[in-house]
Structure formats: C-alpha cells, structure tokens
Amino acid sequence: MSSPAIEIRGVRKAFRRRERESGAPWWRRGWKDKVALHELDLTVEPGGVTGILGPNGSGKSTLIRILGTLLTPDAGTAKVFGCDVVTDALQVRRHVNRVSVEAAFFKELSPWENMVYASRLYGNTSRQTRRRVIEILDLLGLSKDVVDQPMKQLSRGQQQKVAIARSFLTAPSLLLMDEPTTGLDPRSKKEVQAVLDTLRAEREITVLLCTHDMDEAAALCDRVLMLDGGHVLADGTPDELCARHGAGTLEDVFMQMTGKTLEADEAEEVTL
Amino acid sequence: MIGVRGSEMSALFGFAERQLYVYKRYWVWEVVWLFYSIVSVLSIGFLASGLSSLGAGGGSFDLRKAQLYLLIGALLWGYLSLVFMEAAYAIAWERWEGTIEYTFMAPVRRVTHLMGICLFAIVYGLGRTFIVLLVAIAIFDIDFSHADIAGALVVLAASMAPLIGLAILTSVLPLLSPQKGEQMSFAVQGFMLLVSGVYYPLTVLPWPLELAGYASPLTYALAGMRSSLLQGATAADQLPTVAILLGMGVVLIPLGFAVFTWAERRAKRLGLLKRSG
Ligand SMILES: Nc1ncnc2c1ncn2[C@@H]1O[C@H](COP(=O)(O)OP(=O)(O)OP(=O)(O)O)[C@@H](O)[C@H]1O
Ligand SMILES: [Mg+2]
C-alpha cells in the first residue's frame, strides 16, 4: 500500500457552545465557538508509533475522534490509508480501532461477552476469538478467571487492559490510543508497552498514541507531536526535540513549549 | 477472509447475541417485566369482568366480546410497545453505558446495526407476549372458536414493517438530544397508545386525535387482528390491511434510516455522541 497511514490537510474543528457572558442577564446566552483544532496538517507513514503530547484540552482526543470517524471536520480533509474519513467512513472503520481513557464496555457483561460482541462487529467468529482473547489477556497479565466476571467487578486498570485487548483483537492497521495507560500501575504500563511491541513485531501496525506520560512517549514513540490549543508546536523524534530545545527529557521540552501559553490558558479558564 | 456480506451477517448476529447476553445477565429484571406484562393484561381482563357489576351487562352489550376486545388490545399493545421501546432504547442505552462511540466506529452499515436490534426485539417481544397470552387464556378461558388464526398471523407479520420504521424513527431521539431523548421516547409511546385505538374505537376520539389515529400503523394492526380474532376474517380478507401496513412500512423504514443518517451526521458535526470531551 503506497498511501500514507494518516494524511490530514487543513483540518479544523470547532465546537459551538451556548454561553452566557459574565454579567449578562441569565436569559441572554449567545453561541460561542470553541476551536479544538486549528488548520492541522499531518502525514504519518505506515508503521511506527507517533506520540501526541499536549496539555488538557489541546485537541488530542478531537484529532483521534476525527480519524475514528466519530467527528466530522469543519474544514479540510483527513484520510486513513487513502480513504476519506467523511465520504468513505465505512472503509476507514475497517482499518482503525481505538482505545480511550475511559474503558467503554457493557458493564454487566463479562470481558469475554464484550469481546465476542466487538469481534463479531469486525466479522470474526467466536471460535477464533476465545483463543485470541485468552492469549492477549495473558500477555497483559490478566488471569483467566477475570474473563467471565461482569466488567463492573473489575478494577479500572483491569478494565483498561481489557479495552486494550479488545482493540488488538480486531487486528486494526491503524490503532488510535487515547491515553491507554492512564490509571495503570507501573507494572501494567510496562506490560501494555511490551504487548504493543509484540504486536508490532507480528505485523505492520501504525499507532497514534496520546499520552501525558513523557517516559512512555520517549520509550515507545518514533515521532512526537506537541499540540497546544489546537496548534502543532513541535514535530520530530524524541531525540530531535530534546536536542532542538537543549533539554534533557521530553518533559523539559513540554514545559518549555507549553510554558509560553500557560498564562494565557489560565486567564481563559477564569472567564469560563 | 470473509466477504462484505459475511461480515455484515456476522455483525447482525453479533447485535442479537449481545442482547441475549444482556438479558441473561439481567434475567431477574426480565422476570419482573414479564410479571408486569402479565399483571397489566390481567387487570384489563378483570376490568372487563367487573363491568357487569357496574351495570354494563344489560341489553345488547356482549360482555365476553368486550373482554376479548380489551384483552386483544392489551396483549398487542404489550407486544408493540415492547418492540418499540426495546429498539428505541438501544441507542439511549449505549449512550448510557458509554459504548456508543465503539459501536458507531465499527465497520458495520447502519442498516445492519438497526435491523439487528429490531429483529431481536421482535423475536423477544413475540416470545414474551406468547407467555402472557397463555396465562390470559388459562385465566379468562378465552374463546377463539370464531377466530381465524392464519388471518391474525398475516396481520401480525405485516405489522413488523411499519413497526421497525417507527422504532428506528424513535431511536433517533437520544441522538438529537442527549438529555431529553429518552423521555421523549416515552412521550411518543404514550401518544401512540392514546390514538391507536388500543382500548376503544377511534370514533370516540376528538377529530384531531382521530386523524392522528388513522396515521398510526398500530391502528391497522390492531383493527386487523381484532377482525380476525373476533369476526374470523381470513387471510384473504386481510389483504387491504396488509397492503396498508406494508405500504406504511415502505415509507417508514427508508424514512427512519434517512432521519437516522441525518441525525448521526449532525451528532458527529456537533460532537454530541459523547457528553464529556
Ligand atoms: N463533544 C464536545 N463538545 C464540546 N466541546 C468539546 C467536545 N469535545 C471537545 N471539546 C472541546 O475541545 C477542546 C479540545 O478537547 P480534547 O478533548 O480534544 O482535548 P484533549 O487534548 O484530549 O484533552 P485531555 O488531555 O484532557 O484529554 C476542549 O476545549 C474541549 O472542551
Ligand atoms: Mg483527551
């Protein structure tokens, strides 16, 4: 396949909200645009892990949702393996899967039942699924007896691991990971990272990884994007970014890059 | 590799299987709901039995017939409203569980998704209504000797088409308004009960409501079932009713899908699929 895994041209996304100006009477609420992404351009070649770093509200999840066909961009085009996310959404969905911060499951159903449902939606049969589920959960350090308990009885970290297992199960070629290891203990984080490595060794898979964990980004990512207020501030390999900013770690780069806009952000928060 | 058609079938089955898992897990609830269905149908039956002691038994008034009329209404309404709510609630429930984004992100045509849910709801609704029917027959020793069962079944089958259309139209509501959509489904359901002639002929309604009643497919489903079960109308006699029901289905199902597609696009444009960013 010659087309890039992700090709984004001038994508913009804003959300309209009804807001009352401070001091205005309660009945007068005007529409306000909150821009989540400004004119974004991004090309990601197949294979490799691209990290997206940025403070809260910088537009990371918005970008992930656009690629997952869950949000339509206001302007510009986004393509996944050459398929447009708006006009060719069904084709895009065959390529992608996603892990989000909050593990979204039917809480009364067991991990097994949730996984069977997910894999049926992707056209797999349950016979193939069972073996694979156990295999992946085992790699993630989840015991077999967890598989048949209702989701709601699992801890948040365990649920998150099941969510990660689910995303691996459907064999996506583009994996969108939105803070997949948030809420996991250090050992579990390592396990997730190891499984990701194993999977990448098995077959070509492109990963877009949003994270607040700078060490994780440094360890996993071939390329890092720093996002703030819907703008790309920096783009390069972790080493390049560190060298360019004369910083020792990604965290220092992050602090330097976002520090400039921190005060402006705080001022904005106050008026909300 | 499974072909596109194979994977759509797999997904269709997946939706049904998921619902089955949910019912298995919530089986106590299902027992409670079944109990509730039985109780509500029985209370309508006893209401009819009680009419005589209220002085309604004299003259040309045929109490048995009135009881059967009301029981058929109660049973059918139980079935229709169950299918309707089950399908209408599917989206609301996924929003509530937080899985909606995952279902919408799956490589499945919306037709497959909604049909999977509706078909399961119909099978489930028929099963549950059958149990209630058996209980009602046992208690009220209902006389179906004048009934034409084949005619009734034909009407029941034809009523699936507009019912699916209506259910899809209602399932759109939670997509339009995350907060108020679910309650609106209940309002729609209540209105259907009012105008569709479940417990009385449409002629008793004030004309605007009567007019609404003629637009409701449930009216024709109920009238058709009654004419077969009470007056023995045959399958051939039911052809006009079947034509009306199928005709309404032909309009309502594509309309339902069109509105759903529009609502889904709108939700994706405005970021309504999920409340928290
Ligand atoms: N569905 C939505 N409706 C309204 N506003 C939204 C919606 N989704 C995101 N936003 C707004 O867009 C901006 C970017 O949000 P986004 O979720 O993309 O940030 P993020 O980088 O993922 O943040 P975090 O690190 O906290 O996850 C925020 O200001 C947010 O309030
Ligand atoms: Mg986010």
Query: Where are the domains positioned within chain B?
Result: 4-270
- Dihedral sign for Cα atoms in the order A179, A185, A186, A191: negative
- CB spacing of B98 vs A102 below 8 angstroms: yes
Identify which of A161, A128, A167 has the alpha carbon closest to the alpha carbon of residue A146: A161
The predicted structure's pLDDT at residue B57: 61
- CB spacing of B106 vs A122 below 8 angstroms: yes
Using CA atoms in the order B49, B53, B54, B59, what is the torsion angle rounded to 10 degrees?
Answer: 90
The predicted structure's pLDDT at residue B58: 62
Residue type, position B173, single letter: L
Candidate CATH numbers 3.30.1360.150, 2.40.160.20, 3.40.50.300, 3.40.50.10490; the one for domain A6-258: 3.40.50.300
Helix (H) or strand (E) holding A69: none
The answer on pLDDT for A262 being more than 60 is: no
The predicted structure's pLDDT at residue A269: 45
Question: Residue A257 in contact with residue A226, Cβ under 8 Å?
Answer: yes
- Dihedral sign for Cα atoms in the order B103, B105, B106, B109: positive
> Which residue in this structure is represented by tokens 């009881």?
B67
Residue A100: DSSP 8-state: -
- pLDDT tens by residue, B194-232: 999 999 999 999 999 999 999 999 999 999 999 999 888
Question: Å from A187 to nearest chain B CA?
Answer: 27
The interface predicted TM-score (ipTM) is 0.86
According to DSSP, the residues that pair with A16 across neighbouring strands are: A33
- Residue in B103, B109, B268 to test binding to A, most A beta-carbons within 10 Å: B268
> Which residue in this structure is represented by tokens 């997509």?
B175
In this structure, of A34-48, A193-207, B31-45, B259-273, the range with the lowest mean pLDDT score is A193-207
Per run of 10 residues, the mean pLDDT along chain B (length 277 residues) is 71 89 87 92 88 70 82 91 83 86 92 90 92 91 85 94 91 81 84 92 93 94 93 92 97 95 92 67
The percentage of chain A sitting over the pLDDT mark of 90, rounded to a whole number, equals 32
Axis crossing angle, helix B149-171 with helix B217-231, rounded to the nearest 10: 160
The predicted structure's pLDDT at residue A1: 52
Residue B199, burial from CB neighbour count under 10 angstroms (0-12, 13-18, 19+): middle
Chain A residues near residue B268 by CB distance under 8 angstroms? 69-72
Which residues have C-beta within 8 Å of that of residue A169, sequence separation ≥ 6?
A: A115, A118, A119, A122, A124, A129, A132, A133, A136
The answer on pLDDT for A72 being more than 90 is: yes
The predicted structure's pLDDT at residue B4: 66
Position A34 confidence tier, pLDDT thresholds 50, 70, 90 = confident
Residues with CB under 6 A from ligand 1: A 15, 34, 36, 54, 56-62; B 271, 277
The predicted structure's pLDDT at residue B240: 95
| Chain A residue with minimum CA distance to B26 | A108
- pLDDT tens by residue, A95-144: 999 998 888 899 889 998 998 899 889 887 777 777 888 888 888 888 88
The predicted structure's pLDDT at residue A267: 46
Which residues have C-beta within 8 Å of that of residue B262, sequence separation ≥ 6?
A: none
Domain boundary assignment for chain A: 6-258
Residue B229 in tokens: 């079960």
Q: Whose CA is closest to atom 29 on ligand 1?
A: A57
Residue A17 in tokens: 């909200």
The predicted structure's pLDDT at residue B56: 67
Q: How far is the CA of B97 from the centre of ligand 2 (A)?
A: 19
The predicted structure's pLDDT at residue A272: 42
Q: How far apart are CA A134 and CA B156, in angstroms?
A: 45
Position A266 confidence tier, pLDDT thresholds 50, 70, 90 = very low
Residue A170: DSSP 8-state: T
According to DSSP, the residues that pair with A80 across neighbouring strands are: A6, A83
